[in-house]
A and B are shown apart, each in its own frame.
Chain A
Amino acid sequence: MSKILGSKKSISFTFNGTKVEKEVEPRILLSDFIRDSLGKTGTHVGCEHGICGACTIHLNGRAVRSCLTLAVQVDNCEIHTIEFISGKYNGLNIIQKNFKKYFALQCGFCTPGIIMSLCDYLYRNNNPSEQEIKDVISGHLCRCTGYSSIIKAAVESAKEINNAE
């Protein structure tokens, strides 16, 4: 444990479109790194064992759990967090707008992770069924909403994304 302290490794990666170089201890979780070293706190930490999904981000375009990823693993990779999603669309994107419309969040703690998973899935898959969408959402735990509003927002988003393409 303490033996690995101090043995920092240098990594470089693209974070939300900007090139970043950092020194990092090999054991630091990507979720902690994003929040504490990069100062972006939209990525939330709910369980640190990969079940709740709150910490989901995009690693090279695919949704991953940042709590199950070490920061050193993102060397030479591209990372996107929830902050990028809003920035990219100059405001809320389709999925975020529908979350608002359908009351698909209450406390909002799980929301960034769910949006990241849906962004990955809905932009890669045409005409997903409601069950397929539910399966994606079932990778996340939400304690407030009881999911039905999230499912509605996601189904509506899928339609809008397909129509826009």
Chain B
Amino acid sequence: MHASFVRSPYSHAKILKINISEALKLDGVEAVLTGEDVIKWSEPFVVGVKQPMEHWCLGVKKVRYVGEPVAIVIARDRYIAEDATELVNVEYDLLPPVMNIESSIKSNAPILHEKVKSNIVSERNFNYGNVEKAFSLANNIVEIDVEYPRNSCTPIECFNVISEYSDENKSYNVLSNFQGPMALHPVMAMALKIPGNKLRLRAPQNSGGSFGVKQAVFYYIVSISLASKKVGRPVKWVEDRLEHLIAATSATGRKSKISAAITKDGLLLGLKIIQYDDCGAYLRAPEPASLYRMHGNLSGAYSVKNISLKNYVVLTNKTPSGLNRGFGGPQLYFGLERLMHKISKVLNKPHLQIIKTNLLPQNSFPYKTPSGGILDSGNYQKAIQKAEKDGGLEELEKRRRGKRKVGKLYGIGFAAVVEPSISNMGYISTVLSHEERLKAGPKNGAYACATVSIDPLGSISVTIDSLPQGQGHQTVVQQLVASVFSIDPKNITVSSDLDTHKDGWSIAAGNYSSRFGGAVAGTVYLAAQKLFLKLKTIAAKNMNINVEDVIFQNDLVFSKNNPDNKITFSRLAGSSHWSPDTIPDAMAPPLRETLYWTMPQHKAPNEKDEINSSGSYGFIFDYCGVEIDQNTGKVIIDKYVTTHDAGTLLHPEIVNGQIQGAFAQAVGASLYEEFKYADNGEFLSGTFADYLVPTANEIPEACILHISTPSPFTPLGSKGVGEGNSMSTPVCIANAISDAIEQDKITLPMTPPKLWGLISKKEDLPKNLNLEITDEKKKISVELYQNYTNKKFWKYIKNKLRNIV
């Protein structure tokens, strides 16, 4: 059966009545699932903060964002299901919406969740070092207020769910392009009121991109599962683009205020940070993680020791927020790196000089940050040096001088960013107080799991838990394992699908926090090594030589001293299947190795609220030159240089593909993309003609440079690399625009109309243009609209235009 959702057209309303009788009459319609079923068969989703908030898998009694599902029509095919959604009659009683952070936190604001009594659902204060003293010693205090918009990476493939309820076992069998984190598996099982082993969740080997976004399909896995229970048959739902844009998920919008206490040279003595995150209508797991993923690296690439932080989680009548590439990073660094730029302007010193003044010194790694992060390795000075030299910074500065000489608006922007990867599953509990954490029990770690198996013909299968969606993990693993055994990569297959009933996994499994390079590939390597050492021992025994004399090379295994004493790899590898006798006593057979790996550095948050929120931390230094078209306000990215230190690079082409891809999405976030709402809550970005994703003509090729300081904490020395430019590029472009137009208030996306508004002066407007809105003009525009379908439309317009001009 096929499902189609009935969604709320209103951002805030009471549901008075749902009439499904007309829908049920339509031939082919099997049933309609509503809030009544949902209350009977499920629970609200668990929430990451201690608040009496009810988030059901359909809007129950109330809707809180445009697009919130209120019913599901289940029918023979999708066309009929969609027809029937129009026949479901929902009566609403409209409530005033809250559409931004400012209005949401006002004391008289309409309340989204009555039982919570406030739209601020979490408030936490943190203090590291001695901030007040730092501010009292400062030569200068620089402040900046910034906002980061709500947007998303909008994968071209939307959400998919097929769920089958078994009445016999009271269980659900689900296939979905879910990407993890598998920490959401218990969240789904609890919502469905079943033990974990009654929710079999499978994700396929191949699915379209995700960029974090497909985490949010978990909400629909629960509702489609209930739909299957309703009809007693498998139910399939394929999200369409309009549903995706309006109601799937969004990065959090953020308002921050940062004050810096600085010396006359621009050295940071202390930071006071206040952050408000707009999480939309419900705090949906794993939120408020956007605020806490960056907690360990709050101080970025800088050596500042004294930091105070106030975090507020705010609800508004918008789509709930969730994972989105960079998750928390774009928001944090937009404030921090705009601040560094502003400090340079206030002190009238070069921006890069201010960055260099504050960078962590070369030999300070591993470095413990004030908020508890352990930055594993790096050489920030070397990366910047490389960027300056190989990226051609001097040339670019010359170009800026030349452009400015002829009256062009041209600016250079910089950004230095620490890119965290391999999330510590305990970081989210930083939102709780230490006492609350003690009660809930410690949360920490992040197990990666990999299995390497050998079949009777001696070929190798590898299973990984990273659920890749286009990042080429399979290719990297194939090459990695081939190199361990010195065999042809063609003899290795990699399974990247996941079946919770058959595969190894932990709550940390999935495609997020750039955990592949550091954690998953490393775990594969360790598992393969274990098998390799066993095979080597068996070979030594059977070839009658010392273990250290066994050589694996080009699909052969032979003795170092006598190459004729040899066996093919496939024969050796398959021997445990055929002749267990050849295995030395007491050795477990080298048939299959499943290995779980986590890091000892991943501790739970401590009583001082210190948390090492990630496992490894890469470094990015970006700069760019932009020119602004003074006639249109369009930003032209003239040159973009991005230098990365991601430790050991496992596959340079794939790494560069990740960097260019993240860069392109970040250009979209900087210049075009935003989920916009009208003040009355109406959603304004519901198609790809309104939500503007950049095309090949808008994205230049970034100049990508690398240095490598391997991580001492990951098995291969590698770090995550896929999210860095999501964090560095928006603020780098914003800094360049600020440099070009010599203005401070830069809000993304910097669309041409917005920018034109900043650079145009009254005298730029055509002299004879009368912008005053008169009643006559209003009347004409209404008539134009009403006559839009009129056959004499063009003639009509011509006549009217003649009158106006």
Contact = CB atoms under 8 A, between A and B. Distances in A.
Interface of A: 1-2, 5, 25, 27-28, 32, 44, 46-49, 51-52, 54, 103, 105-110, 134-135, 137-151
B83 A1 contact: yes
B693 A143 contact: yes
Contacts of A2: 26-27, 83
A2 B75 CA distance: 14
Contacts of B206: 108
B217 interface: no
Among all A-B residue pairs, the 9 with the closest Cβ atoms: A107-B470, A146-B664, A106-B470, A109-B208, A51-B688, A146-B660, A138-B695, A148-B701, A47-B241
Contact of A107 (B80, B209, B693, B701): B209
A155 B100 CA distance: 46
B153 interface: yes
A143 B153 contact: yes
Contact of A142 (B156, B471, B688): B156
B154 interface: yes
Contacts of A144: 209, 470, 657, 661
A5 B83 CA distance: 10
A46 B157 contact: yes
Q: Which one of B153, B209, B697 has the greatest number of beta carbons of chain A within 10 Å?
A: B209
Nearest to B668: A143
A37 B26 CA distance: 23
Nearest to B208: A109
B86 interface: yes
B661 A1 contact: no
A61 to B, nearest CB: 24
A144 to B, nearest CB: 5
A132 B153 CA distance: 27
Given A52-B688, A107-B207, A143-B211, A46 B697 contact: no
Interface of B: 26-27, 78-80, 83, 86, 153-158, 206-209, 211, 240-242, 469-472, 653-654, 657, 660-665, 687-689, 693, 695-697, 699, 701-702
A16 B685 CA distance: 37
Contacts of A107: 155-157, 207-209, 469-470
Contacts of B695: 137-141, 147
A140 to B, nearest CB: 7
Contacts of A139: 695
A107 B153 CA distance: 14
A148 B687 CA distance: 25
Given A137-B696, A143-B693, 5 more contacts: A5-B80, A107-B156, A138-B696, A145-B664, A150-B696
B693 A141 contact: yes
Contacts of A137: 695-696
Nearest to A25: B79
Given A27-B79, A49-B689, A143 B663 contact: no
A149 B660 contact: yes
A139 B697 CA distance: 10
A32 B78 CA distance: 10
B687 A49 contact: yes
B688 A49 contact: yes
B688 A47 contact: yes
Contact of A149 (B27, B78, B657, B687): B657
Contact of B156 (A28, A46, A150): A46
Nearest to B86: A1
Given A49-B241, A52-B688, A148-B699, A110 B661 contact: no
Contacts of B158: 46
A1 B81 CA distance: 12
Contacts of A135: 697
Given A141-B688, A144-B209, A146-B664, A103 B657 contact: yes
Contacts of B79: 25, 27-28
A36 to B, nearest CB: 8
B630 to A, nearest CB: 23
A106 B564 CA distance: 44
A27 B660 CA distance: 40
Given A51-B688, A141-B688, A103 B701 contact: no
Q: Which one of A46, A146, A149 has the greatest number of beta carbons of chain B within 10 Å?
A: A146
A11 B699 CA distance: 42
Contacts of B687: 47, 49, 51
Nearest to A67: B241
Nearest to A113: B156
Contacts of B663: 146
A48 B206 CA distance: 22
Contacts of A146: 657, 660-665, 699, 701-702
A143 B471 contact: no
Given A103-B657, A109-B156, A143 B699 contact: no
A142 B153 CA distance: 11
24 contacts: A5-B80, A44-B156, A47-B156, A51-B689, A52-B156, A103-B654, A106-B657, A107-B207, A108-B206, A108-B208, A109-B157, A110-B156, A134-B696, A135-B697, A138-B695, A139-B695, A141-B688, A141-B695, A143-B693, A146-B657, A146-B664, A146-B699, A147-B695, A149-B660
A157 B695 CA distance: 20
Nearest to B244: A47
A5 B27 contact: yes
Contacts of B653: 103
Contacts of B470: 105-109, 144
A140 B471 CA distance: 20
B475 to A, nearest CB: 10
A144 B242 CA distance: 20
Contacts of A151: 696
Contacts of A51: 687-689
A48 B241 contact: yes
A103 to B, nearest CB: 5
Q: Which one of B27, B156, B653, B654 has the greatest number of beta carbons of chain A within 10 Å?
A: B156
A29 to B, nearest CB: 9
A106 B472 contact: yes
Contact of B661 (A47, A49, A106, A109): A106
A135 B661 CA distance: 19
Q: Which one of B83, B86, B208, B687 has the greatest number of beta carbons of chain A within 10 Å?
A: B208
A128 B211 CA distance: 33
A52 B158 CA distance: 12
Contacts of B156: 44, 46-47, 52, 54, 107, 109-110, 141-143
Contacts of B471: 106
A33 to B, nearest CB: 11
Contact of B209 (A5, A106, A138): A106
A58 to B, nearest CB: 20
Contacts of B660: 145-146, 148-149
Nearest to A114: B696
A134 B689 contact: no
Given A141-B693, A143-B153, A148-B660, A109 B241 contact: no
A44 B238 CA distance: 12
B157 A147 contact: no
A114 to B, nearest CB: 10
Q: Which one of A106, A107, A140, A147 has the greatest number of beta carbons of chain B within 10 Å?
A: A107
A32 B81 CA distance: 15
B241 A145 contact: no
Contacts of B469: 107
A143 B83 contact: no
B471 to A, nearest CB: 7
Given A52-B688, A137-B695, A138-B695, A143 B665 contact: yes
Contacts of A49: 241-242, 687-689
Contacts of B157: 44, 46, 107, 109
A25 B469 CA distance: 35
Contacts of B86: 1
Contacts of B661: 106, 143-146
A141 B697 CA distance: 11
A144 B155 CA distance: 8
A46 B653 CA distance: 27
